[in-house]
Amino acid sequence: MNQILDHSGPKKKKAPSNSNDINSIIKVFAVIMIIFGVSLIATGSYTFANNSKIKDSMNAVQPVTEPEITAVEEEGTSSVTISVIHNKVIEKVVYKWDDLESTTQKATNNQTSMTIGDIGIPTGDHVLTVEVFEPANNGGNKFSKTFNFSCEEGNDVINPTIDITFQGTTVEISAEDETALQYVTYRIGDGEEETLTPSEDNPKRVATTFEVELAEPTDLVVTAVDTSNNEARQTKTLVFYTAPEIAFSATPDYSQIIVKVTSQTPLTKIDIDLNGEQRTVDIPDNQTEHTEYVQVTKQGRNDIKVTAYTMIEGREESETAEGYVNYGG
């Protein structure tokens, strides 16, 4: 039998291929990277959302907390005590009875609570209004609360009233009080202070009239004090009226009457009456001097009447003058 001999020696085994292992490693690494990336994205999204919530929370309008405001009548007295308790700094507390003048109590040392006592209750039925103010840099809010009180024998908390009028060089001062006046004083400019006292027959009113001439506007200060020491003060600037000057003349041919008006205070208008026919000339721009030419209307005598008007301290003043011219005869 023939045998085929192999003289090539023993056969070598092929080394195993690593391609499958490498692919597996790559796949595993890719999966890990994908999971890591997803984790980063999720973490970033959570952080962004959480920061947005924090920002929205910071920007949200905080609710306004109102202070606790009380007004309690003190036992056995005709007085009230106001109490304010707040969770913020108080700037001031303002209170008043009805529509009377208000009283302000300012806070000190960053107070968050205030107590104001011995506030007299007026006789009868009245409303006490209390207002609490926060500083502008710490909220700046204002809070208000009203309280009703009734007292048969209360306090006099109403200030006197003052009235000042003047016409020409005449000044009239009057002061009144619902209970009784104690005294009234007045001073003109830097002059001496004068004092008036009420009569026994009419203790509620004081009045006086006097003449004065001033070269320039001057302040008159009047003070009235009642028997409960309630005080009222009024200042009035006295600007006295000087009548305008009205002068007549004629053109050389006497066909026109020339009316010239001069005034120390601004003119507002001039009324002209020529032979019973009237017309008004409005004066603009606060003029203190005006000239008007008036055409005569008939032969012979032409009668004219002119009234000049000015405004001073809100009141109207006037001055009238009359004249005539003969035309053509």
Model pLDDT for residues 105-137, shown as the tens digit of each residue: 999 999 999 999 999 898 889 999 999 999 988
Task: Say which residues have a Cβ less than 8 Å from residue 33's Cβ, sequence separation at least 6.
Answer: none
Q: Are residues 289 and 262 in the same domain?
A: yes
Neighbouring C-beta atoms of residue 235, cutoff 10 Å: 12
- Are the CB atoms for 205 and 176 separated by under 8 Å? yes
Beta bridge partners of 256: 295
Q: Are residues 73 and 144 in the same domain?
A: yes
Q: Quick check: is 92 in a domain? A: yes
Structure tokens at 7: 């003289």
Q: Which amino acid is at 200?
A: E
Q: Are residues 75 and 146 in the same domain?
A: yes
**Which of these, 148, 173, 146, lies nearest to 162 by C-alpha position?**
173
User: pTM to 2 decimals?
Assistant: 0.51
Q: 132-188: per-residue pLDDT in tens?
A: 999 988 888 999 999 999 988 888 888 999 999 987 788 999 999 988 999 999 999
Q: How confident is the model at residue 30 (pLDDT cuts 50, 70, 90)?
A: low
Per cent of the chain over pLDDT 90 is: 50
Q: Are residues 165 and 231 in the same domain?
A: yes
Structure tokens at 250: 């004629």
Q: Quick check: is 124 in a domain? A: yes
Q: Quick check: is 28 in a domain? A: no
Using DSSP, state whether 39 is helix, strand or coil: helix
Q: 64-95: per-residue pLDDT in tens?
A: 789 999 999 988 888 999 999 999 999 999 99
Q: Are residues 256 and 234 in the same domain?
A: no
| pLDDT (0 to 100) of residue 27 | 65
| pLDDT (0 to 100) of residue 203 | 95
Q: Are residues 231 and 181 in the same domain?
A: yes
Q: Quick check: is 59 in a domain? A: no
| CATH code, 256 | 2.60.40.10
Q: Are residues 315 and 273 in the same domain?
A: yes
Using DSSP, state whether 36 is helix, strand or coil: helix
Q: Are residues 202 and 217 in the same domain?
A: yes
Interatomic CA distance for residues 205 and 310, integer angstroms: 33
Task: Say which residues have a Cβ less than 8 Å from residue 8's Cβ, sequence separation at least 6.
Answer: none
| pLDDT (0 to 100) of residue 22 | 63
Q: Which of the two residues, 265 and 247, has the higher pLDDT score?
A: 247
Query: Which one of 238, 272, 302 terminates a domain?
Result: 238
| pLDDT (0 to 100) of residue 21 | 60
Q: Are residues 223 and 265 in the same domain?
A: no
Q: Are residues 233 and 249 in the same domain?
A: no
pLDDT at 265 exceeding the cut of 90: no
Q: Are residues 182 and 209 in the same domain?
A: yes
Q: What separation in angstroms does the CA of 120 have from each of 153, 232, 275?
A: 11, 18, 69
| pLDDT (0 to 100) of residue 306 | 95
Q: Quick check: is 46 in a domain? A: no
| pLDDT (0 to 100) of residue 146 | 96
Q: 187-212: per-residue pLDDT in tens?
A: 999 999 999 999 999 999 999 999 98
pLDDT at 24 exceeding the cut of 80: no
Q: Are residues 175 and 206 in the same domain?
A: yes
SS3 content of the chain, % helix, strand, coil (to 5): 10, 50, 40
- Are the CB atoms for 211 and 185 separated by under 8 Å? no
CA 230 to mean position of chain CA atoms: 25
User: How many structural domains does the chain have?
Assistant: 3
Share the mean pLDDT of the chain: 84
Q: Quick check: is 173 in a domain? A: yes
Q: Quick check: is 53 in a domain? A: no
Interatomic CA distance for residues 119 and 81, integer angstroms: 6
- Domain range for 296 is 245-327
Which whole number is the average pLDDT over 44-69? 63
Query: Which one of 125, 151, 177 terminates a domain?
Result: 151
| pLDDT (0 to 100) of residue 64 | 77
Query: Which one of 190, 207, 238 terminates a domain?
Result: 238
pLDDT at 23 exceeding the cut of 80: no
Q: 213-261: per-residue pLDDT in tens?
A: 776 788 999 999 999 999 999 999 887 777 889 999 999 988 999 999 9
Q: Quick check: is 50 in a domain? A: no
Interatomic CA distance for residues 204 and 160, integer angstroms: 9
| pLDDT (0 to 100) of residue 317 | 83
